[in-house]
Structure formats: C-alpha cells, structure tokens
Structure 1
C-alpha cells in the first residue's frame, strides 16, 4: 500500500480541520438564523393576537361573518381560524387552510402542500374557561427557502474551503519541508569524498535548527573518523614498510651465495628482531582495536599505587642513571583496578618521560587521593611541547618529535594511545599539560563504589 507523503498528510489534516471549523460555524449560524426568525414570528403573532382580542370583545358561536382588523386583512401571509372550545370550527379567513391544525397551545411549525406555516394557538378570552380558540397561521415559506439556500451555501463553503485549504496546505507544507529535502539530498550525496559538506544552520527554522546542527556534527565526526582511519592505514603501511624492506633485502643478500653457518645464524637473529618488533606492533594494534570495541575488561583488585610506581621506578633506574636523570615519587593512593594494565600505562608514561628529559633533568611521579577519586601525574623537565600539538599526542602513530625514526623497534607511536585506552577502560581521563619547562601527563581516575 502506497504511503502518503508528509506533505499530503499535512494538507489533508489542514483540509479536515478547516472543514470541521467551517461546518461548525455554518451550523451555528444556521441555528442562530432559525432562532432569530422564530423570535420574530413569535413577536409578530403575539402582536396580532393582542389586536384580535381587542377587536373581538364579544364573539358568539352563531356569527359566521367576523370583522377582522384592517392590519390583519392587509397582511396576505397571515391567516386565522376561530374554533369553539369544543373544537368546532367557527371561522376561516382563507379557504386554503389545512383541515388539521395543531391542538396544543403555543407556537409550532406546520407544513402543508408545499407551504410552511408558523402556527400560534391561544384562547381568545384567557379569563374564560370556555373561551373560543384562535389559531394564527403565518406563511414562512420564504424564511425556509432562505434557510435552505443558506445550508446549501454552508456545504458549498465547507467543500470549497476544504479544497482551498488542502491546496494551500500542500503548498505550505512543501515549502516548509524544503529544509528536510535539503537534508535528504545532502545525506544521499554523502560519501568519503564529500564529508566536508554542511547544512546552513542560520537559514533553518527553529524546529530543524537543532537537527541540522546534530547532522553537521555527525558529518564532522564521520569526517574526523575517516581522516583518522586514512591516516591510520597510511601509518601502518609506513611503519611496516621499513622492517619488511629490511627483511627482504637482508634475506636476498644472504641467499645470493653460500655463506658460513655463523653468517646464516646472524642473519636469522637480525630478522628475528625485526619480526618481534612487527609482532609487537600487530599486538598493540589488536589491543587498540579491542579498546575501540569496548572489549577491554579490567580486573578489579585493590592496589597500592605507590608500591606499583616504586617497582617501575626501580626498573627504569639503570636507564635514568645512564641518562643522568633523577627519578622521584611523591604521595600515595589506593585504587581498585587491573594491576597489569595500570603497570603498562604507567610504564609507557615513564618511558616517554625518560626519552624527552635532558641530562641533569628530573622525572617525578605524583599521586593524590581526592573525595571523588585520585589524581596521578608523570612529569618531566625539559623542552615544552607546542600547545597546538597537545591534542594530537594520543593519536596512533603520532610522534611530536619531527626526527621520526622510521621502523624503530622501540617506539612506534602507539604507547600514549594504549595508555589512553587503559585509563578510559578504568573510567578515567588522561590529559597532557606543558608549561614553565615541565611536561606532565595527568591521570584522573574515579573512586569505584
């Protein structure tokens, strides 16, 4: 079954509402007109009744000729019947009067031979119990014709107004829904090459402005994700190209001629180092892929961060001594977390700090418990980082050092990205600050209930 468009639904809804309102107004006007005519007829007949009572003070049953007042005679649409208290007819002012007239006193309406009458029946002498009965008949055919024409006009107006409203409603709905069609056209044209298209929010109606803003934000996120994915693919190829080339070259050179056993053993050891680095790179990428899909599920155990930090500082102490860098730890804190994951995150930060700390410099680990959790920072002295580079430090394969060593078996630019994924898996946040000759990575972890 074909579904109606939104424009058609709005047009039909407008038409239905207009028809109902027009019909309601028409019915009210028709009822009011009819009530007005009845009131006028009531006043007219009451006046004629009073005139007859004054003109016929002593009417006898044997009187066949009744002298009617001139004002009654001159009014052609008014007729009179006089009957006795027993119902016997005494006098008719017109021969075309119906044989049967209403017997109930008061005002009523009667139709006879295509003529409509307003009938008023009342006693001629109200003070007498056996008073003759007067029946005044007023021809209201022209009133009824007017009401019928008005009803026809009402129906015609309802139909025309509904049709006009449907057409205008369809045009208005189509014009009002133009921004939606623009959104649809933009969405249908979205591709990897057109993610930079945006909707003009300033020209949108208030009802659609928020949707346009969210749509533009979605396109922005898609564009950013696609750019990151493209850069990620390029970085993977960049990182793997050098070790693969080394492996191929070294293997081809080794196989060019027969060599001693020691040369083959040395070549295999060299290839093994490259393969181990590539395996570690693949494992790190899989680790980040699990993080992206929310598959990192940290274990929860009570940890003394000071003890964990001291173990790592002891491990890095020989490297720090060779680089003439001082290692310090301040404060203590307890947390419910995964020991191996947090050790890896802290180890990445310490390794990163040692690499960028100049001789005679210092690396400090600070931790502090707070009411809502804990704060842990790893900071090192030395040259600061450009503020424009800080948001990109946690990107995969990104290195702030312009002297990028391709295919390094030690640093592939994934350490900070892995650290960030571990902290987020624990429900925390990590950020980098660089000012006044110090660079610090601040970790904030919430307190587990």
Structure 2
C-alpha cells in the first residue's frame, strides 16, 4: 500500500515526522530541564531553612523535650506556609509533625525525594539533626510543590499541542513545497506521454530543470535523440529495401509475363529460367547481407578470435583477385606485416569487400596497394587505389547502406551498396574503426584495430 503513495505525500509525511520528532525531543529536554531547575530551587530553599531548624532543636534528645521548642518551630515554619516539618527519633518514632493531616510515606534514606499523597506532591528532604552523631534524630522537611507539578503538566500539554500543530503545519507546507518542487517532474511526464513516432524531435528544456533533474533531462533527451536516429535509420532502411527489391522483382515479373505470352521452345524456357535464377540469386545475396547487418547492429555477431598473420591473409586475398586485376590491367601490391587476434572469416570478408571495391573503381594501368603497420596500441591496415577522387561531401556517406557514390551507375545485382556497410560492422565488432580519405586521384581506406 505504501508503494502507491505519491512522492509529494511521502515527502510531506517525512517532513511532518521529522518535525514531530525534533519538536518532541526539544519539548522533553525542556521539560526535564525545567524539572531539574525546580528541584535545584527546592534544594536551595530547604538548605536555607535547615540551619534555623537545627538551631531551634539543638538541645533536643528526647520526644518530651520538643514541647519546650514547639513554639519556636511553629514561628520558624510560619515564614514558609508550604513547608512542613517532621521529627523522628533514632528508632523511627514520630516525635513531631507540623502538619499531621498530611503525612505521606517517608523515605528511610537521607537526601532529597519526591513524594505524592492524596494528589499532592511534596519534595521531601531527610537529614540528620546532628550529622556528627550516628544515632541522631532525623528531620524531614516537606515542601508542597503542587504548583510546580501543575506548571510541568501545562508544559507537557503545551509540548504535545506544539508537536501536533507543528507536524500538521509542516505536512501542509511540505506537501505544497514538494508539489511545487516536483512540477518539473510532472512536466517531464507530460512530455514523455506526448512523445510518439511522429514527435521524436521533442526535447526537454534541460536548462530550466533543477540541478537534481538536469542530468535526468539530459539522459532523456539523449534517449529521444537515439530513438529519433534509430527511427530515421529504420525508415530509410525500409525505403531503401523497397527501392532495391523493386527493380529485381519488376524484372522477374516482366520477364515471366513476356515468357508466358505465347508458347515457346524448351530452350527458350530454360533461358528464361536461368535469367530469373540470376535475379533471384542477387535478391538472396541482398537479403543475406541485410540480415548480417541487422545482427551486427544488435551486437549478435559472434567472434571466434585467433592469432592471424595479416600478411598471409592479405596475400591469399590478392592471389584470389589476381585474375581480375590482370584482366583490368591493374597492379596489386602489399607491404608491411602485422599480427592480430580476430575472426579470420569476418576479417577476410571485410578485406575482400575493400579489395573488390578498389578493383572496380581503379582504371587500367592503375594500382591497388595494401599496407600493414603495427603501433604501440593498434594495428593499421590501409587499402589504397588510384582513380577518380571522391568528393569530400560524399566520404561520410560511403558506409551507409545502399549508398552509391554514382547512383547512375548500375554494376550488377551483386553490388547493391552493402559491402562497405558490412565492412564497417565487422571492424566495429572487433572494437576498431574505419575511415576513408580521397585526394589527388588516390583513395585510401584505413582500418584501425586495437592491439
């Protein structure tokens, strides 16, 4: 049930409880201090009366002798109407009582005590008449302190009333202050409730938030920015998929419809099916590449790390591409050496995409070079080719899915603009980065992997 109480109410109750505890503690301490102060005053009063009473009774050793001193005792006690005196013999027998009607149960111990009899409170002070004698009679001075007790009772009632009123006032003021202080949080709730797929650009005014909520506001805005970016990428990805699949599907549909317009020979049907198979293989390759990218973005790529001699891996790939390079009259080279702990299959795929890309855009008599370098903290792999310089505004887009630097060029179904995106995802999965530079007819892709 407590979990359903609002935060403002919790704060109000907490403020009220703290105020009640502080007020009650202060009241109890004040009450005890007042009681101790009254006791000290009573002690001083009784001590001041004691010498005169001892002087009046200095010759008394038996009960019969008190009759000669009764008048002196009555005269001394008349100065203090609230004071009564009792005299007891060494055996505890009562010799004298100035107020016999009020005789509370006496204490057998010397010193100051508080007694109550018939609703009346007394301060009892028990002392020996002659402290130097072991069997001396005892004097008991009784001081009526009922007015003190009434004051302390009124003080206690006032304390409880103050505690209650303070707690109530603090609860009301705390609820108002908490509600006012939590207004930015309610505004955040309203903004969060209004966010939808069409309003992901909404942001919290973090500069206007209190210091305690500013960090939360910044985190919330960052989350909205990531959602907006992800939604935009998803929308663009969906549009790109639809655009890329539309052409091969349209080709398949048109080719099949044309084939079925009239009866044809078996060889013609075989040729039509082979054409459709080529388109379907391109679509399957595209779908596999998109699935691979989706797994990479979700962090689902599983790396099988092993020690790789990158010099041998690059040489093997260049040997594979050598026939294509000779046909295109492009020279290939490699320099440097490096060792890296990584996934052989993934790194080969990334380097293969870069070499294939370099060969396709390198003119005749051009060159493709791979450079390996090991530094203190990283391994560098540079794939460089000569050819047309890529404009600076195009470089940041090269790793986007389905992006082509020259949209007017159609290079076949095997090249749909996913190679560099896959390469980047592989490098990121290894904790590295990739960048592209192009100037003065030389384009260089540089991979940096943590060593």
Q: TM-score when scaled to structure 2?
A: 0.88
Q: Which of 423, 427, 449 matches 1:419? A: 423
Specify the alignment match of 1:287 in structure 2: 292
Deviation at 1:332, TM superposition (A): 1.9
Assess, with a 3 A threshold, how the Cα gap between structure 1 residues 20 and 99 changes in structure 2: closer, same or farther: closer
Structure 2 residue 26 is the aligned partner of structure 1 residue 25: yes
1:298–1:52 Cα change, 3 Å = closer
Find the aligned partners of 2:389 and 2:242 in 1 and give their Cα distance: 30
Structure 1, unpaired ranges of 5+: none
Judged with a 3 Å threshold, the aligned counterparts in structure 2 of structure 1 residues 316 and 126 are, in CA distance, closer, same or farther, namely closer
Do the aligned residues in 2 keep the contact of 1:10 with 1:170 (CA within 8 Å)? yes
- Aligned partners of 2:74 and 2:98 also within 8 Å: no
Aligned with 1:81 (options 86, 89, 93): 86
The separation in 2 between residues aligned to 1:381 and 1:33, in whole angstroms, is 99
- On the 8 A contact 2:86/2:96 being kept in 1, the answer is yes
Aligned counterpart for 1:159 among listed residues 156, 164, 167? 164
The 3-state SS of whatever aligns with 1:66 is helix
Tell me what 2:449 maps to.
445
Q: Is the 8 A contact 1:52 1:69 kept in 2?
A: no
Which of 173, 179, 199 is 1:174 aligned to?
A: 179
Match of 1:109 among 102, 105, 114: 114
Instruction: Classify the secondary structure of the residue corresponding to 1:167.
Output: helix
Contact kept? 2:369, 2:385, Cα under 8 Å: yes
| Residue-by-residue CA offset, 1:314-359 (whole Å, 9 max, x unaligned) | 4444544565544321112234444443332112112222333455
How far apart, CA to CA, are the structure 2 residues paired with 1:142 and 1:178? Answer: 53
Q: 1:75 to 1:384 in 2, by over 3 A?
A: farther
Show the 5 A alignment for 1:47-62: 47-59=48-60, 61-62=64-65
Give me the whole-angstrom Cα distance separating, in 2, the residues matched to 1:355 and 1:212: 49
Aligned partner of 1:236 among 238, 241, 245? 241
Residue in 2 aligned with 1:15? 16
Note the aligned Cα RMSD (angstroms).
2.8
Tell me whether 1:216 sits opposite 2:217 in the alignment.
Answer: no
Q: Could you tell me how far apart the structure 2 residues matched to 1:112 and 1:305 are?
A: 105
TM superposition shift of 1:79: 1.8
Instruction: Report the counterpart of residue 432 of structure 1 in structure 2.
Output: 436
Q: How many residues align?
A: 446
Contact between 1:429 and 1:444, CA under 8 Å: does it hold in 2? Answer: yes
Q: Please, which of 301, 317, 335 is the counterpart of residue 312 of structure 1?
A: 317
SS in 2 for 1:419: helix
Unaligned runs of 5+ in 2: none
Q: What TM-score results when the alignment is normalised by the length of structure 1?
A: 0.88
Q: Does the aligned pair in 2 maintain the 1:55–1:69 contact within 8 Å? A: no
Between 1:407-416 and 1:354-363, the stretch displaced more is 354-363
Which residue of 2 is the match for residue 403 of structure 1? 408
Q: CA deviation at 1:306?
A: 2.5
Q: 1:227 to 1:117 in 2, by over 3 A?
A: same
1:370-381 correspondence runs (5 A)? 370-381=375-386
Q: CA deviation at 1:360?
A: 5.0
Deviation at 1:55, TM superposition (A): 4.1
Report the Cα offset of residue 145 of structure 1.
0.6
Secondary structure (helix, strand or coil) at the match of 2:413 reads coil
CA shift for structure 1 position 404: 5.4
